Structure 1
Amino acid sequence: MPDSQATFNRPVRPAMLRGWRRRCPKCGSGPLLSGYLKVRATCPVCDEELHHHRADDGPAYLTILIVGHILAPLILIIYTQYRPEPMVLASSFSVGCVALSLYLLPRLKGAIVGLQWAKRMHGFGKTVNV
């Protein structure tokens, strides 16, 4: 890159944690999402452009991965230790699966947008805001 567009380090961890909290990865105070999963075009506080993100299926994949790794062993443990009725087991774990998925999905999307911002991926690094 030319010297006029020197890159400054963007710390990954704080950007991902800000995204996890559904805040702008740059300033940490502006809201990242305008709806449940809709990313704002720009941050209303610092005017950082956020429309470059390409989270696509990443948050859904990670949500399925995490929920599956938490609930599958838990189902096995609960079933072998307590032997609940099949309908009780199915209904309680269905509710748990949906609740955990709805909790994780927007947070993981924010973390992925924060990672992309920190790594200057998909257009986040075209200009340097000093």
Structure 2
Amino acid sequence: MIQDKTEDLKAARDEGSSRAVGVSAAPITTPLKAAIRGGCPRCGQGRLFQGFLKVRPACEACGLDFTRIQTGDGPATFIMQIAGFIVGFSALFVEIRFHPPMWVHLIVWLPLVIALSLALMRPGRGLMIGLQYRNQR
């Protein structure tokens, strides 16, 4: 569970608003919007990910501890269902409407399902982290 106190949140927001004039600061947003973009769910300024999907140990801006975040396989499960739904029904529509040969299906739908899965994985994991932060503080 992510432990966060109201004082910590106020301090992070005050720190963001007390920066020098001329320094561009990211606007404070909701935890979900920040996490989907790969930012810290508390302050929205620090980065959430260290690599493609590896979560940082802590936020470099506000110090929120990310080591207690446990998303498990939830994001991957949802992403597989979303990508499978989109690609599966699109392939069925194309087959019923145009009757292309099987090699066309392989060339079109396999790369599409891979691209969709990779494109949605990071925002999906960020969303799960943002939801966990929002609901367990």
TM range (shorter): 0.7 to 0.9
Per-residue CA deviation, residues 94-121 of structure 1 (Å, 9 max, x unaligned), is: 000000000011111111011111112x
Per-residue CA deviation, residues 15-40 of structure 1 (Å, 9 max, x unaligned), is: 12211111110111211000111001
Aligned-CA RMSD value = 1.9
Q: Which runs of 5+ in 2 are unaligned?
A: 10-28
Aligned to 1:96: 112
Aligned to 1:75: 91
Counterpart secondary structure, 1:52: coil
2:103 is equivalent to residue 87 of structure 1: yes
Counterpart secondary structure, 1:119: helix
Query: Which protein, 1 or 2, shows the higher relative CO under an 8 Å CA cutoff with sep ≥ 6?
Result: 1
Select 1:51's aligned residue among 67, 85, 94: 67
The aligned amino acid for 2:111 is V
2:43 is equivalent to residue 27 of structure 1: yes
Aligned to 2:131: 115
Aligned length: 113
Runs of 4+ in 1 over 3 A off after TM superposition: none
Select 1:37's aligned residue among 42, 50, 53: 53
Q: Which runs of 5+ in 1 are unaligned?
A: 1-6, 126-130
Deviation at 1:14, TM superposition (A): 2.2
Q: Distance in 2 between matches of 1:109 and 1:14?
A: 16
TM-score with structure 2 setting the length: 0.76
Q: Distance in 2 between matches of 1:59 and 1:73?
A: 21
